[in-house]
Amino acid sequence: MDNYSQACCSIPPVIGTNYEPKGEYTTLNGLKTYVTGPTSATCALLSIYDIFGFFPQTLQGADLLASAGPYRVFLPDFFEGKPCNIEWYPPTTEEKKTALYAWFGEKGSFDAGREKVPGIISEANAMSPDAGKFEKWGVLGYCWGGHLATVIAGGEETVFSAAVQVHPGVITPADAGKVTIPMAVLASKDEKKEEVEEFMSRLKGEKFVEWFDSQIHGWMSARGDLEDEGVRMEYERGYQIVLNFFKKHV
């Protein structure tokens, strides 16, 4: 990770409990959207949460990138107020499995998420300093959001300059072949190395992968126990890597 070890700026200290978000909520393309960062920021990030929706750990991550970037960060509610119940995960019982699969069928469609993105970007651009559009966009996706980030980053018409996946939930090498912009992947001990390695091998643009072998899937979003010092340190390290990658490309 030599290319990303020298940050031009650093993230603020991470708060373990009782985090108070620094942004505010607005509506973009009909979706409740958490917006954070200075109004003077000329570049923006689209943050796509995991299946559990707005969680303090994910909101804090948006605030960290917004303040240290600085970026204007937009975190839309793709699930429209009906995220997956975190108590269903991991799905260790038939009851939990049934509830989880039913939720994916109702709310977890990647196609539906992809269709919402152009409207989100269009309305967010109106919030740029010149009320026209941001100079550059990056996209950050956690788990479910990581796959959606890959889908919308692919193709010549993408509006994004760089993409990051954090503990990706769906790893599809075929989609990787369509991505030509720089992409970073931060993987936990729960992702399969052979799948991640094949995905990375098919990316056409600049690429970077970092393994967090001590962390569970979800440590940088809803499932991260920030009261645990070891988790908090790896959470901080992860966001520093994400920041460094975006500062290089966005």
DSSP for 153-192? Answer: H-STT---SEEEEES-S---HHHHTT--S-EEEEEETTS-
Q: How confident is the model at residue 11 (pLDDT cuts 50, 70, 90)?
A: confident
The overall pTM is greater than 0.85: yes
Question: In this model, does residue 6 exceed pLDDT 50?
Answer: no
Q: Distance between CA 43 and CA 137 in Å, rounded? A: 6
pLDDT at 198: 96
The chain-wide mean pLDDT, for the chain, equals: 92
pLDDT in tens, 54-96: 999 999 999 999 999 899 999 999 999 999 888 888 788 999 8
pLDDT at 8: 54
Q: Return the amino acid letter for 235.
A: Y
Question: What percentage of the chain carries pLDDT values higher than 90?
Answer: 78
pLDDT at 35: 98
Q: Is the peptide bond before 90 cis (omega within 30 degrees of 0)?
A: yes
Instruction: Tell me the torsion sign for CA atoms 42, 200, 50, 77.
Output: positive
Six-digit token string for 184? 């970073």
Q: How confident is the model at residue 188 (pLDDT cuts 50, 70, 90)?
A: very high
Phi-psi region of 246 (alpha: psi -120 to 50; beta: other; left: phi over 0): alpha
pLDDT at 92: 87
Q: Return the amino acid letter for 45.
A: L
Q: Return the amino acid letter for 103.
A: W
pLDDT at 83: 93
pLDDT in tens, 149-173: 999 998 878 999 999 999 998 898 8
Question: In this model, does residue 213 exceed pLDDT 60?
Answer: yes
- Taken in order of first residue, the domains within the chain and their CATH numbers are 2-9+20-249 (3.40.50.1820)
Question: What percentage of the chain carries pLDDT values higher than 70?
Answer: 96
Question: In this model, does residue 2 exceed pLDDT 80?
Answer: no
